[in-house]
Structure 1
Amino acid sequence: MGRSLAFLLPALLLAATVESLLTVRPDCQESCGGVDIPYPFGIGAGCFRPGFEITCLNNTMPVLPASTGVVRVLTLLVMPRPEARVMLPVSWTCYNSAGNTTAVSLDGRVNFNKDNVYRISNTHNQLFVLGCNTFVYTMSWCTAHCNDPLSAMYTLYSGCTTYCNDSRSAQDGACAGVGCCHVDIPPGIGDNLMKFDTWSRVGKEFSPCDYAFIVEKGSYTFRAADLHMEKHTRLPLRLDWAIRDSNVNSTASLSCAQLSQGNSTSCVSDHSECVDSTNGPGYVCNCTKGYEGNPYLPHGCTNIDECARPREEFPCKGECRDTAGSYSCTCHPGYRSNGDPRENPCNPNFTLAAKLAIGISLSVSLIVVALLLVLIMLQKRKLDKVFEKNGGRILQNVKGLTIFSKEGLKKNTKNNSEFLGNGSFGKVYKGTLPDNTMVAVKASIKVNEATKQEFAEEVEIHSHMIHKNILKLIGCCLEVDVPMLVYEFAANGSLGHTLHGNKKQNLPLDLRLEIAIGSAEGLRYMHLYTTQAIRHGDIKPDNILLDDNLTPKISDFGLSMLLKEEYFAKKVVGCMGYIDPVFMKTGLLTQKSDVYSFGAVLLELITGKENVYDKNHSLIIEFCKVFEKEKTGRAMFDKEIVATGEDIFILEEIGKLAIECLKEDIEDRPDMTEVAERLVMLRRERKLHKTPNRTPSRFEEINMEYSPNNIDRSGTSSATCSVPSTPTSKDFNASP
């Protein structure tokens, strides 16, 4: 015993020294790509605890710096449980017609534990295997020669077997061994490596590949079509994390019992406590009961005002008073409770005479009260029925979504006294929440029993889409015949109003470029959102809102929600001039349809003209004619933003990008990731040009090229635009 303590003491002293030196600089980056980065996580030197580094790729996407693979981070949580939600690629192996494996495969090898921080959560994930006549298992926790796959040893395994008789064996929603199997995983798994083992594949051409992946519970449902899953598919997974020893093969990670002997821990906040990890060795920190916040920061745990929380969470049937770390619940003077007023109501402490007087008064008013109660009950029953019809029982359990009552929403909007405009389905009003947050309240679609589930899923998906360039859905009111949706308020209205309205603003080129970049980033986030990418379906300047800082916000998701799980629309609905001709002709809506619409928006930004202007002129057609004839779009650029050859270069590049977005063949159009990156590159070079003592940039090299007398119109261009055939009306609704 003495030798063990003597051996452990230097390590404890070193840990105490390291902990005492850990600080967070005030200039540390707090988020990346819309994802909060709470300490002990951090970006950049001095901003994170060892092992908790986050890398911000292109300043837009947070990733774990794993030893293998790019692991995108979706969320990071400190409390109420230590968790990192990430995206991982699906592992796969494929077979030729002879039943032999092909040369290319993906075993999904990802080692999270370069610094021994993460474990794959066994309580929140499952292993899925898809294919026919195959057995797949995951090997994890390399114990020796980790860098040499031939010599590595693994101590944790989990897997299952699938089989198929024929191409009709696998059924949607059924994952019990026929085409699909799933199994729980054990605790302690610290990395990911899939091993495929198969038997005869003869006659199994309908299932050319096997797939395996660990995925967050509830995030995946098997479909028979997934036997032909896209090989680049990524799925969400939850990781548990804890403070552990840096050596993955060591069992010497400190526990709370060892740290309680006067040694320093990472639990530096007042009112914080050490809790042993439940998935692997080590410990985590929690705020003590009655406090919340970040226990890893000095003074990070703050008192909870229990009296301001819902009574279901902190019950009190009397007078509630907040105290440090707790609360008191007592009866008002003249009242008493038959027991604890937290659980039992407080009743008046009346004398006999007072009770008789009250009884007489109650008898006189009994009929009136009864009638009132009947009216109230009928009204409540009506509201409950409407609430249920609009999916209230589903949406009231959605985390982060506020459910407003009918009366509460009337109060917030001052009975709809401030009209903002007309939305896709009805009028839009301005409102103010109790915390003085400005909101916009707009009508949604009418819901019935057949569409209730779909509407609830749409609202839930939208409430979870958190990005600075996506209009945030705050809550909804379901006690009205047509549900009302409550959004963040965009003080400067729509981009269409700003460019073309009665009080249009003269936006400089730099600001137009920022609006284009922000709008592209919002669309890219939608296209990459979870496993089922979202298509917007109705991108136009009126659906790009601007906040008080002129930051663009993508809004109006009516069409995109309805198509989130379908590829073909039953009706083609949109705005002429922005609608993808492929979608208009076939009903096929893809992410490249949004790219086409965004190309039309880019043309409006650089020309200042409406998509259909002078009543019968199409901006897309006119710009393409000019570009194909003169090899430049300069003749149509907005004169208010053209000042230098540098401006001409930027506008030319945006015009070329717009034409690529408008190409007739959807395969020739760029995706939104490429569009956003190219716009960001233009901004970067423009800023470089303005930097003193710089290296001569591309702008200076081509400045003369774009001067009025030096534009070369002798070249050829393969750029062609795809345009609507009859651009004579802005709005349409047609069947494919």
Structure 2
Amino acid sequence: MLRLWTPLMLLLLFGAAAAATAATTATTRGCQPSCGGVDIPYPFGIGAGCFRKGFEIECINGGPVLAGTSLRVLKLSLDPDESQVMLPIGWECYNASDPIDTYNNWDYGETTMNNDGVYRISNTHNMLVVIGCNTMGYAASKPTKGSNYKYAYETGCISFCNNSASAQDGLCDGVGCCHVNIPPGLTDNYFNFHEYDHSAMMDYSPCDYAFLVDRNNYTFQRSDLKMNTNRTMPVWLDWAIRVNDSISDDILSCKQAAKTGQDACASAHSGCVNSTNGPGYNCKCSKGYEGNAYVVDGCTNIDECADPAKYPCYGVCKDTQGWYGCECPAGYRSHDPRTEPCTQQFPLAAQISIGATGGILVLAFLAFFFVLRKEKQKARDFYRKNGGLTLEKARTIKIYTRDNLKPILKSSNLIGKGGFGEVYKGVVDGATVAVKKPNGRSVLEKEQFPNEVIILSQVSHKNIVRLLGCCLEVDNPMLVYEFIPKGSLEDNLHSADNEEILDLDVRLSILEESAQGLAYMHSQIHNKILHGDVKPANILLDENFSPKIADFGISRLLAKGKYHTANIIGDMSYMDPVYLQSGRLTDKSDVYSFGVVILELISRKSATHSENNSLVRSFLECQQKGKSMTELFDKEIATTGDLGFLNKLAEIALECLNLDADQRPSMTDVAGRLLMLHRSRNP
């Protein structure tokens, strides 16, 4: 009997081992590579045999979700080892007839996302936010094995309000809203609250809320005191190869994985790295290789010679497996051709000849010495006059010399020309940039220039072109911005040779994100910055058609006062009539201009400056006479199913164009309404 069982057991064990090996060394061949524009790299995967246990993704309604849940996935990354998902909020709402108790009217936001223990809430990217008046909320993690307490730890904060006006938009410091950092190792999306008497505040704060959220993706608004309880928030998760009970004594690490033969690092030229958030480990490609370390042959050699900016070589570059060689050519030498140029090895006769030539050059240099000295003194004078002594103390702005930018300021690099001056494209410090050179007619306010440039350089928003630095060694300082590759929205809408297709979803995304950028500059930073010249030509598009607003704050640099100017600045076709008549620039001036942009985007007709802007007039007449606007919409997007949607966009635009500036919505309101429209179209 024993002889019969022995080979059978060996066969079963061999089959189990083979299955385990297949589960840890799966390839992506035949597997769905993406869903809804999100890449799905192994160990994540869709469908049987395409994922490692705990990393299954489902593609539902055209978008990825964590398997077995409705949690939408926004991003999956191998390096860094992160994923971003939308998680529900926790809440409790008090009974109107008895505002001391919630009577089980609550939801703690729990999910089943971490059944296999592979995720930890990222403590470096996320924060815990608690909203409400007279509210204490906290997040909790799963218990440690052997502990008598039901949670491993809890963290939270208290928020209080004196009255309905206490909470302020943009502030989350304990009045209506509070926030705290979270510790590493948090395993779950779980929240709880202490119940307090809400009798005096039921009309403006009937509920308590708590949620985890990306630190850079949430700004408190007073309206959040009555937040939609179905709202979800973007949260970053750190993932690793772990065992299901990885918060217990059974801790999986690189050392244990190697000892037990469970190493998930399937590719050659890869290695194991212990997780920095909780137990477990991750796989990385070795130095000189890139790709997916979890897949056989997933790590491929990097051709360093094809990227000289990152891997410099002043000699002859030769790619090798895992690195690259760099040698000087015959007759040249260098201590290290990767860091310093190769110099020619000269014989004695050549050295004498060069010495004599050098002497002649020295004499020539002396002849021009006084001329050069005078030019340098002139550059130093401009530098001081333009606020160089102030700007050189600021860490957020880089000061370029005239020589840094001289190679860029060539006619062959000219990419734009307008009322402000000329724009050139070039490379400086290894980065592609756009250099704005003011013309002689643009008179910058010299006294305000240093402070304004420091403020603009500190602005960081994904939908605003970033100011990198400036050059002060010229009469009118030049500004250096990041370069945006797809040009302006105006070119993409109206250029005859542009073949890009702008469908309704793309146009809506452009409007929504542009509004977010304007709202950020109007109300979400300490120093309000107005644009003053919002138009399609100043909305640039990156390679993903994500908009970035250019020339923010230029109006303040050009104007004689902070908000008033004797000379009206900007494109008359998009200009607020109130600003045109009074010379007073306000945030509602930008709202008016944005309303014209909305009409231009949904009609694909250019706004024109005339006694009556024909584009604006056409839409206003339809509204006043109750006529259909269908004929005004761009035929490319005016499908029968989208007419109602386009009418809603036109309604928002016409509210922005109200001649009574006080009746126009704020950019924050416009951005919120566009976001809701976008969500309603793509739920």
Task: Please tell me whether residue 519 in structure 1 is matched to residue 507 in structure 2.
Answer: yes
Say whether the 8 Å CA contact 1:443–1:485 is kept in structure 2: no
Pick from 391, 394, 397 the counterpart of residue 396 of structure 2.
394
User: What residue is the counterpart of 1:113 in the other structure?
Assistant: 114
SS of the residue corresponding to residue 622 of structure 1 reads helix
> What is the alpha-carbon distance in structure 1 between the residues aligned to residue 51 and residue 17 of structure 2?
20
User: What residue is the counterpart of 1:17 in the other structure?
Assistant: 22
Pick from 43, 56, 61 the counterpart of residue 40 of structure 1.
43
Say whether the 8 Å CA contact 2:65–2:73 is kept in structure 1: yes
> Structure 2: any 5+ residue segments left out of the alignment?
1-9, 524-530, 557-561, 656-662
> What is the alpha-carbon distance in structure 2 between the residues aligned to residue 335 and residue 637 of structure 1?
67
Written as runs of structure 1 = structure 2, the 5 A alignment for 1:697-716 is none
User: What residue is the counterpart of 2:603 in the other structure?
Assistant: 604
Say whether the 8 Å CA contact 1:133–1:161 is kept in structure 2: no
SS of the residue corresponding to residue 478 of structure 1 reads strand
User: What residue is the counterpart of 2:82 in the other structure?
Assistant: 83
Task: Please tell me whether residue 556 in structure 1 is matched to residue 552 in structure 2.
Answer: no
Say whether the 8 Å CA contact 2:576–2:589 is kept in structure 1: no
User: What residue is the counterpart of 2:527 in the other structure?
Assistant: none
> What is the alpha-carbon distance in structure 2 between the residues aligned to residue 171 and residue 677 of structure 1?
26
Written as runs of structure 1 = structure 2, the 5 A alignment for 1:122-521 is 122-127=123-128, 129=130, 135-141=136-142, 154-162=150-158, 185-198=182-195, 211-215=209-213, 231=227, 237-245=235-243, 255-260=253-258, 263=261, 265-304=263-302, 323-326=320-323, 389=391, 393-394=395-396, 407=403, 410-412=406-408, 415-417=410-412, 419-422=414-417, 425-429=420-424, 442=436, 448-458=449-459, 460-462=460-462, 465=463, 476=468, 478-479=470-471, 481-490=477-486, 495=490, 499=494, 504=496, 514-521=502-509
> What is the alpha-carbon distance in structure 1 between the residues aligned to residue 623 and residue 327 of structure 2?
78
Q: TM-score, normalised by structure 1?
A: 0.61
What amino acid is the match of 1:556? Answer: I
C-alpha distance 380-215 of structure 1, shift in aligned 2 (>3 A): farther
> What is the alpha-carbon distance in structure 2 between the residues aligned to residue 288 and residue 51 of structure 1?
25
> What is the alpha-carbon distance in structure 2 between the residues aligned to residue 171 and residue 671 of structure 1?
20
Question: Which string of whole-angstrom CA distances, capped at 9 and with x for unpartnered residues, describes residues 380-408 of structure 1?
Answer: 99889859838973267xxxxxx988656
User: What residue is the counterpart of 1:660 in the other structure?
Assistant: 651
What amino acid is the match of 1:660? Answer: E
CA positional deviation for 1:192: 1.6
C-alpha distance 533-250 of structure 1, shift in aligned 2 (>3 A): farther
Question: Which string of whole-angstrom CA distances, capped at 9 and with x for unpartnered residues, describes residues 621-652 of structure 1?
Answer: 334535765844567678xx69xxx9885796
Say whether the 8 Å CA contact 1:537–1:589 is kept in structure 2: no
SS of the residue corresponding to residue 268 of structure 1 reads coil
> What is the alpha-carbon distance in structure 2 between the residues aligned to residue 627 and residue 171 of structure 1?
36
SS of the residue corresponding to residue 395 of structure 2 reads helix
> What is the alpha-carbon distance in structure 2 between the residues aligned to residue 637 and residue 218 of structure 1?
36
> What is the alpha-carbon distance in structure 2 between the residues aligned to residue 602 and residue 570 of structure 1?
28
C-alpha distance 129-553 of structure 1, shift in aligned 2 (>3 A): closer
- Larger CA deviation: 182-191 vs 90-99: 90-99
Identity %: 33
Question: Which string of whole-angstrom CA distances, capped at 9 and with x for unpartnered residues, describes residues 97-133 of structure 1?
Answer: 9862556555343443144321113455454556676
User: What residue is the counterpart of 1:28 in the other structure?
Assistant: 33
SS of the residue corresponding to residue 455 of structure 1 reads helix
Cα RMSD (Å) of the superposition?
Answer: 6.4
C-alpha distance 449-215 of structure 1, shift in aligned 2 (>3 A): farther
Question: Which string of whole-angstrom CA distances, capped at 9 and with x for unpartnered residues, describes residues 209-258 of structure 1?
Answer: 6554445568779x8x8797563586654321012345778876754334
Say whether the 8 Å CA contact 1:13–1:263 is kept in structure 2: no
> What is the alpha-carbon distance in structure 2 between the residues aligned to residue 251 and residue 293 of structure 1?
33
C-alpha distance 42-10 of structure 1, shift in aligned 2 (>3 A): closer
> What is the alpha-carbon distance in structure 2 between the residues aligned to residue 562 and residue 286 of structure 1?
48
> What is the alpha-carbon distance in structure 2 between the residues aligned to residue 561 and residue 13 of structure 1?
66
Question: Which string of whole-angstrom CA distances, capped at 9 and with x for unpartnered residues, describes residues 23-80 of structure 1?
Answer: 2448623772xx6554434567776544334567765xx664276664553x44322x
- Larger CA deviation: 235-244 vs 341-350: 341-350
> What is the alpha-carbon distance in structure 2 between the residues aligned to residue 57 and residue 573 of structure 1?
50
C-alpha distance 377-119 of structure 1, shift in aligned 2 (>3 A): farther
Say whether the 8 Å CA contact 1:92–1:231 is kept in structure 2: no
Say whether the 8 Å CA contact 1:318–1:345 is kept in structure 2: yes
Task: Please tell me whether residue 65 in structure 1 is matched to residue 66 in structure 2.
Answer: yes
CA positional deviation for 1:271: 0.8
Question: Which string of whole-angstrom CA distances, capped at 9 and with x for unpartnered residues, describes residues 333-352 of structure 1?
Answer: 89797xx9999999999999
Say whether the 8 Å CA contact 1:595–1:671 is kept in structure 2: no
Say whether the 8 Å CA contact 2:44–2:57 is kept in structure 1: yes
> What is the alpha-carbon distance in structure 1 between the residues aligned to residue 216 and residue 618 of structure 2?
50
SS of the residue corresponding to residue 34 of structure 2 reads coil
C-alpha distance 229-650 of structure 1, shift in aligned 2 (>3 A): closer
Say whether the 8 Å CA contact 2:507–2:601 is kept in structure 1: no
> Structure 1: any 5+ residue segments left out of the alignment?
1-5, 145-151, 397-402, 466-471, 564-568, 682-736
> What is the alpha-carbon distance in structure 2 between the residues aligned to residue 112 and residue 302 of structure 1?
32
Task: Please tell me whether residue 671 in structure 1 is matched to residue 673 in structure 2.
Answer: yes
- Larger CA deviation: 171-180 vs 296-305: 171-180
CA positional deviation for 1:82: 1.1
Question: Which string of whole-angstrom CA distances, capped at 9 and with x for unpartnered residues, describes residues 357-401 of structure 1?
Answer: 9999999999969979989998799889859838973267xxxxx
C-alpha distance 241-630 of structure 1, shift in aligned 2 (>3 A): closer
CA positional deviation for 1:170: 9.7
> What is the alpha-carbon distance in structure 2 between the residues aligned to residue 109 and residue 561 of structure 1?
48
What amino acid is the match of 1:15? Answer: A
CA positional deviation for 1:160: 4.4
Question: Which string of whole-angstrom CA distances, capped at 9 and with x for unpartnered residues, describes residues 420-453 of structure 1?
Answer: 4435743334558999x99865469968332244
C-alpha distance 478-189 of structure 1, shift in aligned 2 (>3 A): same
User: What residue is the counterpart of 1:725 in the other structure?
Assistant: none
Say whether the 8 Å CA contact 1:219–1:236 is kept in structure 2: yes
Question: Which string of whole-angstrom CA distances, capped at 9 and with x for unpartnered residues, describes residues 655-714 of structure 1?
Answer: 644543345487898932465578889xxxxxxxxxxxxxxxxxxxxxxxxxxxxxxxxx
> What is the alpha-carbon distance in structure 1 between the residues aligned to residue 118 and residue 554 of structure 2?
38
CA positional deviation for 1:285: 0.4
SS of the residue corresponding to residue 407 of structure 2 reads helix
User: What residue is the counterpart of 1:100 in the other structure?
Assistant: 100
User: What residue is the counterpart of 2:658 in the other structure?
Assistant: none
CA positional deviation for 1:272: 0.5
> What is the alpha-carbon distance in structure 2 between the residues aligned to residue 612 and residue 101 of structure 1?
60
User: What residue is the counterpart of 1:621 in the other structure?
Assistant: 617
> What is the alpha-carbon distance in structure 1 between the residues aligned to residue 516 and residue 162 of structure 2?
34
